[in-house]
Chain A
Amino acid sequence: MGAISGMVGARIKRREDPRLITGNASYTDDFKFVNMSYAHFLRSDYAHARIKNIDTSAAKKHPGVLAVLTGEDLKGKAGEMVAVPFGANCIIPPHSAITSDKVRYVGEIVAVVIADDRATARDASELINVEYEELPAVVDVEEAAKGLPVLVHDGIPNNIGATLEFGDAAKTKEAFANAEVIVEQRFNNQRLAPSPMEGRGCVAVWQKGEDALTLYTSTQIPHYTRTFLALTLSIPEHQVRVVAPEVGGGFGAKLNYYPEELVCAYAARKLGRPVKWSETRSESLASMIHGRGQIDYVRIAANKDGTILGIDITAYQDIGAYYQVLTACISALTGLMATGAYDIPAAYFKVYNVLTNKVSTDAYRGAGRPEATYFIERIVNLLANEIGMDQAEIRRKNFIAKDKFPFATPVGLTYDSGDYDIALDKALEMFDYANMQKMAADARAQGRYVGIGMSSYSEVCGMGPSKGMFTGGGWESATLRFEKTGKATVFSGASPHGQGQETSFAQMVATEFGLDYNDVIVKHGDTSNTSYGLGTYGSRGTAVGGAALSLAIETVKEKANKIAASMLEASEEDVVFDAGKYTVKGAAGGKSVTIQEVVFRAYVNPFDGIEPGLESTRFFEPGNFTFPFGTHICAIEVEADTGEVKFLKYVAVDDVGNQINPMLVEGQVHGGLAQGIAQALYEEIVYDSDGQLVTGTLMDYTVPNAVELPHFELGSTCTPSPVNPMGVKGVGEAGTIASTPCVVNALMDALINTGVKDIDMPLRPEKLWRVIHGK
């Protein structure tokens, strides 16, 4: 591919893909080292039990076993796991990498075996004898919030780790007092397993001679992980290197610091041998963080003409047994997005973060925002039904008007830019709304169950300004370095893991310098060659990481211009740069130098007064979050006999601001839709009343195949963000956030004649069949 002027905006295939689809990429488990050893974690089979005794003697004697470690062995030698507190009254209970007093969820680590090979470690773990005294399990989140049946942690009354409030309770109460219509509904946003194709895994290597640690780990946050390792294992941070090699999906679940990472690093140092761990799918379902897990009691107040006056939500967030890194913050994102795309004068959101005997919940694609979008998009439809208004019209009536941006919401955010009507209009047109409505009504008149649902969302992305982030900043770093021969290397502090920035960032640099696209490469994920970066999550990779690169491009350009001016013996102001060439203004056909010649000059025989070399490292601090938006509409038929669903049409119109590579944007929307639709119809983590994980394998936890998903018809509108130089908003989560309520709204519309107003997700065939047949 040659130099394309205006390569930004081009639909080009991801350069990452050939190596991924030909098996030539290196994931964590592909790394092999001399003398490597393997960790196997023994995990609790009980949801809640006191550990009376652990006998590891037989396991230690098993041939090939190097070490067996329990919680007692780590006491005083490793710090507690890392958790960001949130909320004024937030209590973070102790969380050791390996528990020693009690187990508090099925899958919690009780001991680790390190052995010469994986099989030996696994076999030896069966020789560990743990004596448990079983305790009642805390499973139901609303019961848990009453302290029932018992406390998960002593010292946390009623199992409530924190209570968070957003908005204005008094003003909201007043809005309800004056309302003509009030609609209320309880919504259950079920627990989900993030299920990346590549599970977690790490290899810890201790360099004895240097007292240094290298951890290869499947993470979204290599720099944070380095800091956390340094703090929890008392290793100077500059003696720790973290490498996130190829990462096979994260979806927020790898925006974390896990006990297994700490333990492998600890064991590698203790044993002086590399230690590898690769989780199994069953381990992943049981002990990688889960997403969602929120119950929302929602009330909406309106006038009969559809004007929304207020919204009031009481929520219970099931946070599990411990706080992982961002566990405490996720429900706050729900509160902050509680008013969605609407201009609602009064809002109040209160959430209880409740401890239960389950694995922690934390960020999963959307992280708090899908919960908000779900309840508001569902209740708006219930309101529309109540007052007999069209679902598109009620949205249009309450949208934040485009001239009101930047728009301060009653729950504390300021939306950057938006034009919600154009996305709705485009979606209605693509969907052929009027005809589809007629089709659905005709079908229902014939006794069929056909429905149309929509969802208009606004979400918060580009995380985020440091002052708005819960901890640790919200900026990102990037280095642009020209090599002597004119090739360019980008080092990004963001750590993409499937989003495609190796392609899109190269497009940015190629465009700005008129370079051949193949002359730019993008490196990331290794703390030894990138400046501190915060990683990829919250749809920030391009909106913040790309913006840092944009700053570095500007700095390099300024210097290159200076060198070019000296080479052309012209003043800087007179130098013109176009298509990779510097010329002097007004001197057509005169002297010119190429960017490559400028680069060479920067390294060889630099000018007096100009520092040699040509590179720049810049940090971008966004002034605000970004707020993508859009409207999705779908039509679905439910088969009366079985309750099975059939998509008739799915249209998604997303406005993510400017698009650097529309093909990458579409790919992100496709993946997001798959996961959002999966929540509506298929996926659900189930614990039974004893806290046992029922959906412990993919035979029971339904990750859908392509055949279970509709054909996606995508469209976009473009409202640039004023927050970053490129005007981008971020697209990683939009599809997931918008699609779940869209699908459920369509299904409830299909069942409208049954009088049933809501069904807990996932809307499995049996549930729909029961409603249709009144069972």
Chain B
Amino acid sequence: MIPSTFDYFAPAALDEALSLLSEHGDNAKILAGGHSLIPAMRLRLAQPGVLIDIKGLRSQLSYIKEEGGRIKLGAMTNYYSLETSDLLKQKAPILPEAASTIGDVQVRNWGTIGGSTVHADPSSDLPAVLLALDASVTLKSSKSERVVALSDFFVSILTTSIEPSEILTEISFPTPAGKKTSYKKLANKASHFSVVGAAAIIGVDGNGVCTSAAIGFSGLAAVPMRSAVVENALVGKKLDAATIEAACSGSAADVDALSDLHGSQEYRRAMADVFAKRAIKAALAS
């Protein structure tokens, strides 16, 4: 399992990484945690001519903080840090919950939230959670910086709207204050990626009426997605069992669901209902 030949750079600062990227563009790949890129390179499915290893940027790009009502995550923050962050456990517990279901300890020590988001693997857990959190990504190049809503970021399977000259540096989202949240998934037993996962972020008023709902699905379709169908069926209603059941019934009927060895389209659609329901119920119980 030997990758094809590539040039290797290990910049010590973001500026340096960006200038390397502007120089090599399409031919270059950013290496963060490497847990998606390196297997692809070993199988020679990816054959970048230049590898820009940004582990030297960890001190700059690995952080979890809250500023001005938003939670900000450095792109190099690894899953283990998400899983164990006291700040997140308090303010956005859905991220530690979801991160704890990813792979194994080794994977969680290496894999990064930025890498996972930019790789846009539909079976990956965090993108769906971040979508439900209304997250945005900060994309920097040597010439510019832009902030893109995650809902505009995912284009198709393994493809995002990032430019070849850009590095994803930060992911941020409004602190889900007072929201009830949970992530539940059906795991592929071979890879522990999700066959279908559902993130639920629910706002409820004092009378038990739903004031806001964000439902994200992983594994279901070619891109991580939000479910307006379920969300609309929840908002404004008292969330009793029958309402939840009805809201999650046929939730993915119109979704062009994936189909593979681990789940047919029909099964994935049905599991979307099941796991949306479970996530909502778990959120309400949280």
Binding site for B on A (CB under 8 A): 118-119, 122-123, 126, 280-282, 641-642, 644, 682, 686, 694-695, 697-704, 708, 764-766, 769-770, 773, 775
Contact = CB atoms under 8 A, between A and B. Distances in A.
27 contacts: A122-B2, A280-B1, A281-B1, A282-B43, A642-B186, A642-B271, A642-B274, A682-B189, A686-B261, A695-B261, A697-B43, A698-B191, A699-B191, A699-B193, A700-B191, A700-B261, A700-B262, A702-B188, A702-B189, A703-B190, A704-B189, A764-B262, A766-B262, A766-B263, A769-B270, A770-B267, A773-B270
Given A698-B190, A775-B266, A123 B4 contact: yes
B190 A123 contact: no
Contacts of B270: 769, 773
A699 B190 contact: yes
Nearest to A681: B189
Nearest to B274: A641
Contacts of A682: 189-190
B189 A123 contact: no
B267 A769 contact: yes
Contacts of A698: 190-191
B190 A702 contact: yes
A708 B189 contact: yes
Given A708-B189, A764-B262, 10 more contacts: A118-B2, A282-B1, A642-B186, A644-B186, A695-B261, A699-B193, A700-B190, A700-B191, A700-B261, A766-B264
B106 interface: no
A698 B188 CA distance: 11
B5 interface: yes
A26 to B, nearest CB: 22
A281 B1 CA distance: 8
Interface in B231-286: 261-264, 266-267, 270-271, 274
A123 B266 CA distance: 42
B5 A123 contact: yes
A122 to B, nearest CB: 5
Contacts of B266: 775
Closest 10 CB pairs of A and B: A702-B190, A766-B267, A122-B2, A699-B191, A280-B1, A641-B274, A119-B2, A702-B189, A699-B190, A766-B263
Interface of B: 1-2, 4-5, 43, 186, 188-191, 193, 261-264, 266-267, 270-271, 274
Nearest to B190: A702
Contacts of B261: 686, 694-695, 700
A361 to B, nearest CB: 21
Contacts of A700: 190-191, 261-262
Among A123, A126, A642, A695, the one with the most B-chain Cβ atoms within 10 Å of its Cβ is A642
Contacts of A708: 189
A701 B190 contact: yes
Nearest to A695: B261
Contacts of B274: 641-642
A467 to B, nearest CB: 44
A701 to B, nearest CB: 6
A701 B270 CA distance: 24
B93 to A, nearest CB: 23
Contacts of A281: 1
Nearest to A682: B189
Among A118, A682, A686, A765, the one with the most B-chain Cβ atoms within 10 Å of its Cβ is A765
A392 B217 CA distance: 46
Contacts of A126: 4
A632 B67 CA distance: 59
Contacts of A694: 261
A135 B5 CA distance: 34
Nearest to B275: A642
A775 B271 CA distance: 14
A686 B4 CA distance: 28
Nearest to A279: B1
B7 to A, nearest CB: 14
A395 to B, nearest CB: 31
A766 B265 CA distance: 11
Contacts of B193: 699
A703 to B, nearest CB: 7
A135 to B, nearest CB: 26
A733 to B, nearest CB: 24
A286 B190 CA distance: 17
A101 to B, nearest CB: 28
Contacts of A686: 261
Contacts of A119: 2, 5
A122 B5 CA distance: 11
A704 B187 CA distance: 12
A245 B78 CA distance: 39
A697 B260 CA distance: 14
Nearest to A699: B191
A384 B89 CA distance: 54
Contacts of A699: 190-191, 193
Contacts of B271: 642
B2 A765 contact: no
Nearest to B3: A119
Among B2, B188, B191, the one with the most A-chain Cβ atoms within 10 Å of its Cβ is B2
Contacts of A122: 2
Nearest to A121: B2
Nearest to A641: B274
Contacts of A644: 186
Contacts of B264: 766
Among B5, B43, B186, B267, the one with the most A-chain Cβ atoms within 10 Å of its Cβ is B267
A765 B190 contact: no
A770 B274 CA distance: 14
A698 B4 CA distance: 21
Nearest to A678: B189
Contacts of B186: 642, 644, 765
A500 to B, nearest CB: 27
Nearest to A686: B261
B122 to A, nearest CB: 14
A187 B150 CA distance: 49
A770 to B, nearest CB: 8
Contacts of A695: 261
A708 B189 CA distance: 8
B259 to A, nearest CB: 11
B44 to A, nearest CB: 8
A699 B4 CA distance: 22
A719 B270 CA distance: 51
Contacts of A702: 188-190
Contacts of B43: 282, 697
A118 B42 CA distance: 13
B189 to A, nearest CB: 5
A282 B266 CA distance: 30
B269 to A, nearest CB: 11
Contacts of A769: 267, 270
Contacts of B5: 119, 123
B72 to A, nearest CB: 32
A602 B5 CA distance: 64
A65 B5 CA distance: 16
A644 B189 CA distance: 11
A695 B190 CA distance: 10
B198 to A, nearest CB: 12
A252 B51 CA distance: 41
Nearest to A764: B262
Nearest to B263: A766
A701 B189 CA distance: 9
